[in-house]
Structure 1
Amino acid sequence: MASSFLPPNAGRPNSQLCNDVLLVQMPIEVPAQWKKKIETKYPGIEIRSRVLRLELGLEANKIEPELWKGVTLACLYLTHPEELMSNVRFLQLTSAGVDRWIHHERYKSLDVAISTASGIHCPQIAEWVMSTWLMRNHNLLRHIESQKEGTWSTVRAETRDSAGMRVGILGYGSVGRQCARLATAMGMEVYAFTRTPYTADKKAKSDHYSIPGMGDPQGELPSRWFHGESKDAVNEFLRQDLDLLVLCLPLTTATEYLLGAEQFDILAEGTKRTFISNVARGKLIRTEALIDALHKGKIRGAAVDVTDPEPLPESHPLFSAPNVVITPHVSWQSVNNWNRMLDILEINLDRLDKGKELINIPDRKLGY
């Protein structure tokens, strides 16, 4: 038999993704340079895309059935009918949470590899937390009102700097870790609360996407760790005389309405009045209890980027409650999000091709 001079892999694809079709729906056009890089890296892969425009409503963002034909890899925010997605074996979510997907058959199927966007929002959300905290401590809203009135205010309200204060972070994921980094830079002491304990062998490491120079990848910043799955464990954390309490928890059946009248009463028992920041989900807090706590001075104030209900109806009593800053779920927004999202997608395509475990894998039983 004649000897062959062909390389061992000749005639066979070098990539495991050569027969895959990737469908991407994001708020930007997929950059031509990124698309070319992926097509060069994985010869034979086909990339399709649609721009997501949430301001137009869900109906306008439906992807036509023709575009779904043959799709095996998808990068999405919105859910789509199971019959259109039946061939999808890899699902890259463009959200950090999975609550929109937990009832979808693709999410339930263990044959489908799933990854979230955890980590892409941490710089801007942490900046939102700290900017609203500083705005309150430095009375900036009062000074802005004086400017609008054209007056030079001579009122000297109490101003506080953050050095020596204590922040408690409920949920020490990527956002919580970046909040800890910023708080530490301002001289604050960090307490962290997680569902499970961080033992010496685990070393509190995060296996999620991390922007270089951001967060706390090794879990080194908290001076004290707390953990637990019960209300009693959370209540004990709330008794730690916190100046600032940041909610970074996912919304699950276990965390729904985690803070209610009982928890605000506990905060009121401390020697300090706590300022609460919620950048997670509105249903972590019972709104009527928050309003009551603000009116009665049980807490120093609150900054909420998420509410229950959301959006807040016109003239809702939370709007007129004292010492509260409300923004319409915008803390996650940044023009840098989508380049980071494409970074995660590229990392996971490489891992999928090599048969390695993805990054940002959610726990489907826990729902985050």
Structure 2
Amino acid sequence: MGGGPESPKLEGKKHDLLLCVLPWPEPKESLKKIQRQYPKLEIKYIHVPHANRGWKPAEGVPGELYKRANILATLSILPPSASEAPNLSLVHIFSAGINNIVNHPIYTDSKIPLTTSSGIHGPQIAEWVIMTTLIQSHKYNDTYEGQKRHDWGNYGAGKGVRDMVGQRVGVLGYGSIGRQVARVANALGMDVIAYTASPRSTPDSKKDKGFIVPGTGDPDGTIPSAWYSGLDKESLHGFLQQEIDLLVISVPLTKQTTHLLSTPEFDLLARSNPNLTYVANISRGAIINQEALVSALYAKKLRGAALDVTDPEPLPPDSSLWSAPNVLITPHISGNSVNYVERAFQVLEENLKRREEGKDLVNEVDRKRGY
């Protein structure tokens, strides 16, 4: 196994290099802040085209920079191997998920610490979840079509609205995004139940130990009225049969979570809730068996689905998912925010500080778990 050197103190060396290879214009204020904290740190910023999903080779990045870099900040562009970046001691990924790099040699054949930007997406994605749920429950699309026709008499669009007070949201994957969904849903009067891979039976285990945007989320894990956990289907089914009105999918994509939800799960949701379940997926498309989802929508086993992710992406024009009933599809944009890059650099800042202090990194990837 290859790997980088032990983390040095940044202020103690003159030639430490932070290499940023990112698809956004240079965020000068964020870089100035880091430079003020670490005046001896050399910072190189390379603006690259926005890549599609999946890691990309180091096109446009001089090999000499990879050889000198101690810290790499990137979305998906990586050096071909750890041996071509011998001084690399930290890779910070500007996304929450890392499923797109799990086959890269730096992931599989090195011990270089990897950290993610998990925690920065909660505010905007929670808003997307609530927005799309309200669009469905308030039949907004029908109203909007009436507006385009200049038709005031579309009264039917306002009938049958069921407000969210007393409804139950099941958060499948109670990370930073799920916790912010819980916070907003709780404010709307909803009951929240949470599902995690491992048990959270103590107050400390329920705390969020990742990066938290101030004033958001559920830092102490006190919002859910009940917690469920497990890696087996029986445990998952115990959670799904709790008469869930809104199921929010926010688990990472791993071999274990691929097609985690399919026909048996949709059947169970239908049997357990006479009002039917609305599914919101903001994680990865492959967590859902897409053909099974389309069948469930046509069979009216679900109230509908809001999907910011699909399988594959981009979704082909001839996919049957486009015309499935009561489905709302957006092109993997729920995490977009003008604050995105600034917050991702805040996570990096926190980890630079922790390296200096010899503390555990925030959002460090566990290679064995796959996230």
Q: TM-score, normalised by structure 2?
A: 0.91
Q: By how many angstroms is 1:352 displaced?
A: 1.4
Q: Name the structure 2 match of 1:284.
A: 287
Q: Could you say which structure has the larger radius of gyration? A: 1
Higher mean C-alpha deviation, range 22-31 or range 89-98 = 22-31
Q: Name the structure 1 match of 2:155.
A: 154
CA distance in 2, matches of 1:262, 1:56: 32
Q: Name the structure 1 match of 2:80.
A: 81
CA distance in 2, matches of 1:176, 1:349: 26
Higher mean C-alpha deviation, range 349-358 or range 203-212 = 349-358
1:338 matched to 2:338:
no
User: What are the Cα deviations for residues 107-137 of structure 1, in whole angstroms up to 9, with x where unaligned?
Assistant: 3466422211001111111110000001111
Q: By how many angstroms is 1:201 displaced?
A: 5.3
Q: Name the structure 2 match of 1:192.
A: 194
Q: Name the structure 2 match of 1:27.
A: 23
Question: SS state of the match for residue 252, structure 1?
Answer: coil
Q: Name the structure 1 match of 2:299.
A: 296
| Residue correspondence of structure 1 range 1-368 to structure 2 within 5 A | 15-16=11-12, 18-54=14-50, 62-78=60-76, 79-82=78-81, 83-108=83-108, 111-152=111-152, 153-155=154-156, 156-200=158-202, 202-270=204-272, 271-368=274-371
In the comparison of the two structures, how many residue pairs are matched? 356
Higher mean C-alpha deviation, range 26-35 or range 281-290 = 26-35
CA distance in 2, matches of 1:257, 1:56: 22
Structure 1 alignment gaps of length 5 or more: 1-12
CA distance in 2, matches of 1:56, 1:299: 31
One-letter amino acid of the counterpart of residue 104, structure 2 = H
Question: SS state of the match for residue 155, structure 2?
Answer: coil
One-letter amino acid of the counterpart of residue 75, structure 1 = A
The change in CA–CA distance for 1:341 and 1:157 in structure 2 (over 3 A counts) is: same
Higher mean C-alpha deviation, range 30-39 or range 248-257 = 30-39
Question: SS state of the match for residue 107, structure 2?
Answer: helix
Q: By how many angstroms is 1:310 displaced?
A: 1.6
Contact 1:91–1:112 (CA<8 Å) still a contact in 2? yes
Q: Name the structure 1 match of 2:5.
A: none
User: What are the Cα deviations for residues 126-179 of structure 1, in whole angstroms up to 9, with x where unaligned?
Assistant: 110000001111110000011112211132431111000000000000000000
The change in CA–CA distance for 1:89 and 1:304 in structure 2 (over 3 A counts) is: same
CA distance in 2, matches of 1:226, 1:56: 35
Contact 1:16–1:354 (CA<8 Å) still a contact in 2? no
CA distance in 2, matches of 1:40, 1:277: 42
Q: By how many angstroms is 1:59 displaced?
A: 7.1
Question: SS state of the match for residue 63, structure 1?
Answer: coil
Aligned-pair Cα RMSD in Å: 2.0
Higher mean C-alpha deviation, range 350-359 or range 220-229 = 350-359
Q: By how many angstroms is 1:72 displaced?
A: 1.4
The change in CA–CA distance for 1:280 and 1:112 in structure 2 (over 3 A counts) is: same
User: What are the Cα deviations for residues 220-274 of structure 1, in whole angstroms up to 9, with x where unaligned?
Assistant: 0000000000011111111000010000000011110011111111111123300
Question: SS state of the match for residue 226, structure 1?
Answer: strand
Question: SS state of the match for residue 276, structure 1?
Answer: strand
CA distance in 1, matches of 2:196, 2:86: 36
Structure 2 alignment gaps of length 5 or more: 1-8
Contact 1:352–1:358 (CA<8 Å) still a contact in 2? yes
Q: TM-score, normalised by structure 1?
A: 0.91
